[in-house]
Structure 1
Amino acid sequence: MNREELYQVAQNWFDQQNWKPFKFQKDTWKAFLQGKNGLLNAPTGSGKTYALWFPIVLNYIKKNPQYKTKHKKGLKAIWITPLRALSQEIRQSAERVTADLETQMTVGIRTGDTTAKERAGQKKQMPDLLITTPESLQLLLATKGYDKIFKDCSAIVVDEWHELLGTKRGVQMELALSRLKTISKDLRIWGISATIGNLDQAREVLLGPQTEALENSVMIRANIKKKIKVKSIIPKKMETFPWRGHLGLHLLEDVVPIINNSKTTLLFTNTRSQCEIWFQKILEKHPEYAGEIAMHHGSINKETRLWVEQAIRNESLKAVVCTSSLDLGVDFAPVETVIQIGGPKGVARFLQRAGRSGHRPGKESVIHFLPTHAMELIEASALQVAVKDNAVEDRLPYLNSFDVLLQYLTTLAISDGFYPNAIFPEIKRTFCYQGITEDQWQWLLNFLVMGSQSLSSYDEYKKVEVEADGKFKVNNRGIAMRHRFQIGTIVGDATITVKYQTGGYIGSIEEYFISKLTRGDVFTFAGRNLEFIRIKGMQAHVRNSTKKTNKVPSWMGGRLSFSAQMSELLRQELYKAAANDLQGPELKSLKPIFDKQREESIVPTPAEFLIETFKTRDGYHHIFYPFEGRAVHEAMSSLLSYRISLLQPITVSLAFNDYGFEMLSDKPIDIQAVLDNDLFTTDYMLSDLQKSLNSNEMARRKFRDIAVISGMVFTGYPNKGIKMKHLQSNSQLLFDVFKDYEADNLLFQQAFTETFEHQLEEGRLRMALTRIERQTIVWKECSKATPFSFPIITDRLREKLSSEKLADRIKRMTRMLTK
């Protein structure tokens, strides 16, 4: 068949479904059949799976004219999904196409959920189309004779590429693609990405800079304008002193009519603990929802999650309280309504969630925004602007992740082995390692064979042998087995399985939460009140309890920080308030807060940077407002307190949120001296930052992940996990050895680079300081706390007080301030 006839086959299929293919789908078919690589930018639910399954199948038909009668077996295309949960949906789309076009192509899934029996079957005969995850693809590269599996593969599609970009899983994909390009001569590489700020760079990372693949590539954008309507739930009575304590629960009754008026509602929370609490409270106040409301987050067991997803599909649930576990494409029929509880901290995340409602091309999405404290209404107003201007964040790719490279080289060494001279040019053509030097490469090869210099007397770090012809190979079966168990770059805190004493599995919780419980403690998890009995192995045994409790597991991932984009939008909204230009219901409703703020202080304009000082019985408060997000404030507050300590000996305790940070001390800081000595300068920023923060401690935590990914520390066999504290101490010993004896160790240095670039967002900190240097600093000596400072002060208190005592204390403080 020629190309025109092939397009007609696809067109006919769409006609039979009474559908009309979008322009972006046709453009993708065309580019693919012309042999091009590319990046498809399309929103969830727009038909992107058909944009790429079709040309893959059409290409097979073109090459095999007798496709209906003669079937040529072997792997022809790979579809990478970052989430296992999506694989069933993708498989259904693929099977629909292959069956309706009467090909005999088979579709298979290979993820962590695939049974040993299915895997063994795939070993004998690979399916034609394989749906898998980045980790499972690496495991295939770890099989002997992997080049035979991939040699006839004509396409690889990386779905949700925006989610992988800017993570080490993305780096893992870059390396796998660099290998597959060499093995499969006819390989087309395609990525599918939702909107991100740096789409062109996303394509460059996927295909490799300055490569033929990039030169022969296209960018296809699905110009499907999604109508998104943001409706804020505005409290009837506005508190003038807002605080973050109540997770928005005081607005629970405003949510009930929204749930009642729609078939299915998703309530997105930012953290798993908030998800648990909201679920409990809705049922407590409205027992009539029992059986009609469910919960979905990443720590709940797979069966429950799948049941919930199915229940959303067939609309048998009224509401689901969830976290980002339902952000990513988990494909189900559109729900009618989405409610976002608390600021989502990023534009892309908000748009993704909004798109869950009316999740069909051309349908309007409605998302309700419920603030957990009044200041979050400024975020809601900023999000309205973002939706209108389609302003989305960049995702920054990693550079020189040596831990991932060591893991990859070991993978190649346990399958067929590798020759450094053949592999080095492939690696250098990836985005992540484009700057790798010969010296660094030699260091990594030495590391594989001997461990590092300071560990050369320990045999356990010598994994790879160099054979007579120069091939690097792992010949020890034990090393190969341990490596296969540990392939992957997601290093979470160790999780402990939660089970009933009688045997039923409930889910998993991070070890550090469980370690704080004693026998008889009751906590809420997966919507139940559970009494803790004991820990046995890596399992926590529990039983149901009727006791009330306010213990909810907190997960380390719970502290999201503003993206740069979000901070910028937020400042613009504040500047409107400063000019008294209160447009939109959100800013109008905040008028009493802005008025109260002006009584004691100011609402800063674009040319002003605000510092407030006042005294309470807790001590002297000094509050700074960069409006840059939590991560930047953490770094900036440490930097500033270090620089102040050089001027005057002083002890301060720090607190920060997304709006600003507080230094609390037992004597006043001389703010005039801060201004006179230009303490907001970017000069010597990095060395001051290293001295100010316990950068060793932060790098030590980062190093734990690097040690696991690079294979220096083994995390244990399945169901016999090594306790986190052992992992921690193993990696800490290594960290200390390198610190004292081998400071030029590439993995040791990488821990510091990642701490500054990724955790402390050093680039953003530099830009924020540069901006503050240009602004006029306004120092207000106030007689008491202001509405802007109140959320920061109360945040510090909550670390010390239980929730009941905190609520009482805040009521007292509010009464005093409103006198």
Structure 2
Amino acid sequence: MNQLADVWFYNQGWTPHAFQKKAWSEIQKGHSGLLNAPTGFGKTFAIWFGIIDHYYNNKAYQKKIKNKKSALHALWITPLRALSKEIYKATTQVSEDLDLDYKIEFRTGDTSISDRQKQRKNPPQSLITTPESVHLLLASKGSEEYFKHLEFIVIDEWHELLGSKRGVLVELALSRLKVLNPDLKIWGISATIGNLAEAQEILLGQNHQGVMVKANLKKNIQIETVLPDTIEKFPWAGHLGIRLLDKVIDIVKQYNSTLIFTNTRSQSEIWYQQIISNYPEFAGILAIHHGSLSDEIRLWVEEALHENKLKAVVCTSSLDLGVDFRPVDCVIQIGSPKGVARFLQRAGRSGHRPHETSYIYYVPTNSLEIIEGDSLKYAVKEHIIEQRIPYIRSFDVLIQYLMTLAVGDGFVTDEIFEEVSQTHCFASITRGEFDECMSMLLHGGKTLTAYDDFHRLVLKDGRYKVESRKLAMRHRLSIGAIVSDAMMKVKFMSGKYLGSIEEGFISKLNPGETFWFSGRQLGIVKVSGMEVIVKPASNNKGIVPSWMGGRFSISPDLGIAIRHSFANIHKTSGQSPELKFMKPLFQEQAKRSLLPQENELLVEYIHTKYGYHLFVYPFEGKLIHEGMAQVLAYRLGNITPASFSIATNEYGFELVSATKYPVDLDFITELLSPKSLHSDINSGINVQEMARRRFRDIAGIAGLIFQGFPGKHMKTKHMQANSGLFFSVFEEYDPTNLLLRQSYDEVFDFQLEEGRMQRAFERIENHKILLSFPKKLTPFSFPIFSESFREKYSNEDWQSRLELVKLQLEGADNG
């Protein structure tokens, strides 16, 4: 029974769902748990009414705070500032509607210093914030007293935080707060992921007594693939997307409001520009939203969506999460979503109300990508969904956390070692490893003792603390685990701030040159420090920025679904619209080469005027294919030394050399063997250079290098040089250094995805290999070939050259 909820729901004319009632009941019993429910069914209220019911009706708590002027009762942690504002809006509405004196505030990086100080002295009942802000509170004097009466922590969108170092920040904060208040109730809110039980255990701890509240509600999702008028038998990446612009606009016109999702910020800029150029009537009712635009622009877009003022928004993952846009009734996905969970999350942004249908249109960007329409429908139907792989042994985050505690109230080593070893991330930590982290903070470890800046902690009254105000301030400015290329502010000459752009992109441009940003064409006036001063330009030529974050690969689960689609290619009836449409392409592939089944691997060896091409099609995703190609190049080089060009896409990879190899079935089988894979990766890939670059981020998080003051960030190349120096020192004088080892582990686990690569080689070992020697390039090989062609002719008109190659192929008589 939850009287507050009953009254509020009755006044809204709503009936609570069974999962909401279940959550209220479990919270009333004092349980922690994980809530799993579809988007748009009221997950926030399922937890929120449990919290305020406890505040007003739990006698033990009321007794505890009887003489307290104010005490923090609940902490609501979200991964996004926009989501924090959304939760604040929804929960504040409840307090106003029911005339409650339950005060809610939110605290993010945007919160003013004066507001933060007020929140410290006079905390609200509930604080909505981010993982980084919680650590900033822990880095304040009196934090133990501040959190002493905390009863609830809610981690919103836990699945999003789980597979990142921000998830480790959450784990460490929870390990401390659970000790400060043993009665603490922890609740996570998560979308469906493949490892939901593990996600719950990581959140609540080993041998937890928490509950899982799952909504037994089915969200209707209508998936439709936008097909071109004709099929290109020899496609290349990106050639199709914009060609479907008219069909996309026809869809937008059918609906009240549409989100057009792209995978990268640069792609969103291109689509926005193309729509406005070809359909000027969309000016004023079309907007763009991505993570590099200023808060002001993004907030305006979000408000305009809420108020139903926009017909469409071109966006990226910046609008994936939580923010509730009720007017949105259609979603368009441009290009492969790269993962089933991401596709479902985006679909759920439309029809964001109980029992409404979510409409999502999938727009392929090349002919081969059409197959993913069939694969996504299969994955959704069969409930195939990705796991989120948690980080383990992130010593950079642990060193930062120990510094955080030392800047705050200080800490006792034995207590903190006990606490952190209870987390999932540090379950395997030894006392020796913990002591090594301490030694890096006390005197710079084995190699940096000569430098005063690395003597960071002092022992005072049995607690380790930071006494240097300079070090404490620097640390507070560096709290967090989000790393990226140094960002430069884009501003008009008037001072108006548009957003931020990576230093690496701007460094390639000169004053006077133009680029597209925030849907505008801008000319560079000058570059001053970390600011790019721009003015509007109108010559219709401009470069679209690229961002490092745009590089990600299809998930293992989507790979499984794509390979499953090959089981249906050979069917004579009952095919999906996508596979029917692709029939001419598959027939051309079968005619020129071979067409694989689900458990077969196709390998093609083709001789052209460009050299000898080895094409392999594992359908494992671009990043895995890059690693596999480098391993094969190393193995081939051991047979006969040769130099190779490598090209990859989501479906396969190509090795080209001037050297002819004795390719037959036995040769290929041996080449693709999973044996000695780890040593071949080490030998065939410049793992050391990858680790050196990875170390830059690790050194930044661990506080070895200071990343600069706000608005005066250290240049990326300087950070790389500084971290490179530490890397070299550790390699030579301290090869077992924890941070050094971590950089190699992260390269193998997250960049090369060694485990996934190993599974791919093992899977291939059990597949039938189809070896083909086509006379010309095939429909499967042409898109990969075009990737290397693009690199080769980057300064020339590669598209017209490629078109010429394609015409020759289409005109070639294959006999």
- The normalised TM-score by structure 1 is 0.97
Question: Do the aligned residues in 2 keep the contact of 1:334 with 1:360 (CA within 8 Å)?
Answer: no
> Which runs of structure 2 are paired with 1:732-771 in the superposition (5 Å)?
732-771=724-763
> Is 1:703–1:751's contact at 8 Å kept on the other side of the alignment?
yes
CA distance in 2, matches of 1:66, 1:517: 62
Q: Which residue of 1 aligns with 2:9?
A: 14
Counterpart among 214, 218, 222 of residue 221 in structure 1: 214
Stretch of structure 1 that moved more, 515-524 or 170-179? 515-524
Residue equivalent to 1:681: 673
1:401 aligns with 2:394: yes
| AA at the equivalent of 2:767 | Q
Q: Is the 8 A contact 1:151 1:185 kept in 2?
A: no
The answer for the alignment partner of 1:791 in structure 2 is 783
Q: Give the equivalent residue in structure 2 for 1:46.
A: 41
Whether the aligned pair in 2 keeps the contact of 1:644 and 1:674 (CA below 8 Å) is: no
How far has the Cα of 1:455 moved from its partner?
A: 1.5
Deviations 1:723-749 (A, max 9, x none): 111111100111111111111000000
Q: Report the equivalent of 1:643.
A: 635
SS at match of 1:786: coil
* Residue in 2 that maps onto 1:529: 521
Aligned to 2:118: 121
Q: Deviations over 1:225-281 (max 9, x none)?
A: 011011111111111111113360011111121111111111111111111011111
Partner of 1:110: 107
Distance 1:608 1:257 in 2: 39
What is the rounded CA distance, in whole Å, between the counterparts of 2:399 and 2:689 in structure 1? 24
* Match status 1:197 vs 2:202: no
Is the 2:44–2:87 Cα contact (8 Å) retained in structure 1? Answer: yes
Give yes or no for contact 2:144–2:409 (8 Å, CA) kept in 1: no
Q: Which residue of 2 aligns with 1:458?
A: 451
- Give the distance between the partners of 1:545 and 1:26, measured in 2 at CA: 57
Name the stretch that deviates more: 326-335 or 639-648: 326-335
Displacement of 1:485:
0.2
Select 1:36's aligned residue among 28, 31, 39: 31
Partner-residue secondary structure (3-state), 2:248:
helix
Distance 2:183 2:458 in 1: 33
| Match of residue 340 from structure 1 | 333
Residues of 2 paired with 1:73 and 1:460: CA distance?
Answer: 39
What's the counterpart of residue 551 of structure 1? 543
Q: Is the 8 A contact 1:450 1:462 kept in 2?
A: yes
Distance (Å, rounded) in 2 between the aligned partners of 1:721 and 1:35: 46
8 Å Cα contact 2:417-2:431 kept in structure 1: no
Shift of the alpha carbon at 1:607? Answer: 3.8
CA distance in 1, matches of 2:499, 2:709: 19
The residue that corresponds to 1:385 in the other structure is: 378
CA distance in 2, matches of 1:577, 1:247: 22
Gaps in structure 1 of 5+ consecutive residues: none
Q: CA 1:582–1:654 in structure 2 vs 1: closer, same or farther (change >3 Å)? A: farther
Letter in 2 for 1:638: Q
- The correspondence for 2:150, drawn from 131, 148, 153, is 153
Q: Which residue of 1 aligns with 2:159?
A: 162
Q: Deviations over 1:319-355 (max 9, x none)?
A: 1111111111122214121111101000000001111
Contact kept in structure 2, 1:247 and 1:274, CA below 8 Å: no
Q: CA deviation at 1:590?
A: 0.1
Report the equivalent of 2:559. Answer: 567
Counterparts of 1:574-613 in structure 2, within 5 Å, are: 574-579=566-571, 583-613=575-605
Is this contact kept in 1: 2:326–2:350, CA < 8 A? no
Cα distance, 1:763 vs structure 2? 1.0
The residue identity in structure 2 corresponding to 1:447 is M
Q: CA RMSD in A?
A: 1.7
Deviation at 1:673, TM superposition (A): 8.3
Q: Which residue of 2 aligns with 1:511?
A: 503
Are the aligned partners of 1:640 and 1:680 in contact in 2 as well (CA < 8 Å)? yes
Deviation at 1:102, TM superposition (A): 3.6
1:25 aligned partner: 20
Tell me what 2:51 maps to: 56
Out of 96-105 and 252-261, give the one that drifted further. 96-105
AA paired with 2:696?
A: R
- For residues 218 and 326 of structure 1, the distance between their equivalents in structure 2, rounded to whole angstroms, comes to 30
The Cα shift of 1:96 comes to 2.4
Verify: 1:234 aligned to 2:198, yes or no. Answer: no
Q: 2:295 corresponds to which residue?
A: 302
Q: Would the alpha carbon gap of residues 678 and 151 (structure 1) be closer, same or farther in structure 2, given more than 3 Å must change?
A: same
Spell out the pairing of 1:603-752 with structure 2 (5 A cutoff). 603-672=595-664, 675=667, 678-752=670-744
For residue 173 of structure 1, what is the aligned residue in structure 2? 170
How big is the shift at 1:71? 8.6
- d(CA) in 1 for partners of 2:3, 2:102: 20
Counterpart in 2 of 1:809?
801
TM-superposed CA distance for 1:185, in Å, is 2.7
Q: 2:306 aligns with which of 313, 318, 321?
A: 313
**Residue 540 (structure 1) aligned with residue 540 (structure 2):** no
CA contact (8 A) 1:247 1:342 kept: no
Question: 376-385 or 451-460, which moves further after superposition?
Answer: 451-460
Q: Does 1:90 align with 2:87?
A: yes
Going from structure 1 to structure 2, the CA distance change for 1:313 and 1:70 (only over 3 Å counts) comes to: farther
1:486-537 Cα offsets, whole Å, 9 max, x none, are: 0000011111001112321111101100000012111111111111122101
**Contact preservation (8 Å) 2:665, 2:769:** no
Counterpart contact for 1:625–1:661, Cα < 8 Å: yes
Q: Match of 2:9, as an amino acid?
A: F
- Do 2:104 and 2:126's aligned partners in 1 also have CA atoms closer than 8 Å? yes
In the aligned structure 2, how far is the partner of 1:303 from the partner of 1:206?
Answer: 34
1:14 positional shift? 0.9
One-letter identity of the residue aligned with 1:24: F
Residue 203 of structure 2 is matched in structure 1 by 206
State the alpha-carbon separation in 2 of the partners of residues 204 and 288 from structure 1: 52
Task: Tell me by how many angstroms 1:89 deviates.
Answer: 1.6
Deviations 1:562-618 (A, max 9, x none): 101000000000232145566110000000000000011111123422110112222
Report if aligned partners of 1:53, 1:97 keep a CA contact under 8 Å in 2.
no
Structure 2 residue aligned with 1:283: 276
AA at the equivalent of 1:81: T
Range with greater deviation from structure 2 (67-76 or 690-699): 67-76
Structure 2 Cα separation of the partners of residues 596 and 676 of structure 1: 24
How far apart in 2 are the matches of 1:260 and 1:781?
48
Displacement of 1:667 after TM fit?
Answer: 2.1
**AA aligned opposite 2:20:** Q
Give the secondary-structure state (helix, strand or coil) at the position aligned to 2:21. Answer: helix
1:252 aligns with 2:245: yes
Q: Amino acid of the residue matched to residue 165 of structure 1?
A: L
Letter in 2 for 1:16: N
Supply the AA of the counterpart residue of 1:436: I
Residues in 2 aligned to 1:582 and 1:242: alpha-carbon distance in whole angstroms: 26
How big is the shift at 1:123?
1.9
Of the three residues 155, 180, 191, the one matched with 1:183 is 180
Shift of 1:179: 0.2
Q: Distance in 2 between matches of 1:345 and 1:8?
A: 44
Q: Secondary structure at the match of 2:345?
A: helix
Q: Comparing 676-685 with 27-36, which one deviates more in the overlay?
A: 676-685
1:462-473 pair list within 5 angstroms: 462-467=455-460, 469-473=461-465
Tell me the distance in 2 between the aligned counterparts of 1:273 and 1:571: 29
Which letter does structure 1 place at the counterpart of 2:264? T
1:363-442 equivalences in 2 (<5 Å): 363-442=356-435
Residue 674 of structure 1: how far off its partner (Å): 6.6
